[in-house]
Amino acid sequence: MTTRRGFIELAAAATLAGCTHMPAPKKPPTEKRMSTTMRARPLMTLRLATAPTQELGAGPHGTRLTFPITGGTFEGDRLRGKVLAGGDDWAIKRADGVIELDLRVTLETDDGVLVHMTFEGIRDDAAPGAPYFRTLPRFEAPKGKYTFLNEMLAVGVGEIRADGPVHLIEEIL
């Protein structure tokens, strides 16, 4: 994955934060180490299909843009299925150019469970190097197989592709 901040910083951050998919090297459990274990693992790839953007114009917080969600898919080791039509991403383009995202959708797993999903995030197309498109998804699942979704925080890395946005979502361990 490439990001805007450059390879050297990435490598440094990965080393310092242990934030890769590889197990962190064993180190003595110093206090510092104990409190800086930031790790993640893949949760799903979410692909959204959107209808034409509704541009509502300038409002008190910026330019309001609503992206209706008409469908989509999600796929991961622990869950997969489709995105139901009827959700939206209620976005605001701020005066500094950053778009704040506020998405709500319903997921339907391939075994018929409905999961409420939201995310808050930002998209900064002017970020140096590459757009900075990061989201913080949250889930509400009924008691059962997918309860684990209720107990995690997650991070999504978004990309705009020709056929719609794609979010690579990882569970924060």
Partner 1 sequence: MQTRPLMTLQVVVAAPQKIGAVPHGTRTTAPIASGHFEGPRMRGKVLPGGGDWTLLRADGVLELDLRVTLETDDGALVHFASFGLRHGPPEIIAALGRGERVDPSLYYFRTTPRFETSHPKYLFLNRLRAIATGDRRADGPIYTIEEIL
The binding site for partner 1 (CB under 8 A) comprises 1, 3-5, 9-10, 12-14, 16-17, 19-20, 29, 34-38, 40, 96, 98, 121-122, 124, 127, 132, 134-136, 147, 150-153, 155, 157, 170, 172
Smallest gap from Cβ 137 to partner 1, in A, equals 10
- For residues 154 and 76, give the distance between their C-alpha atoms in angstroms, rounded to a whole number: 14
| Of 90, 101, 149, 151, the residue nearest 125 (C-alpha) | 101
Q: Where are the alpha helices (DSSP H) in the chain?
A: 7-17, 31-34
Comparing CB distances to partner 1, the nearer of 88 and 124 is 124
> How many C-beta neighbours within 10 Å does residue 52 have?
7
14 contact partners, CB below 8 Å, separation of at least 6 = 20
Comparing CB distances to partner 1, the nearer of 35 and 112 is 35
Smallest gap from Cβ 31 to partner 1, in A, equals 9
Smallest gap from Cβ 123 to partner 1, in A, equals 10
Signed CA dihedral, 70, 123, 96, 104: sign only: positive
Comparing CB distances to partner 1, the nearer of 40 and 65 is 40
Smallest gap from Cβ 94 to partner 1, in A, equals 8
Comparing CB distances to partner 1, the nearer of 110 and 140 is 140
Comparing CB distances to partner 1, the nearer of 113 and 122 is 122
Q: Where are the alpha helices (DSSP H) in 5-125?
A: 7-17, 31-34
Smallest gap from Cβ 51 to partner 1, in A, equals 26
- For residues 18 and 5, give the distance between their C-alpha atoms in angstroms, rounded to a whole number: 17
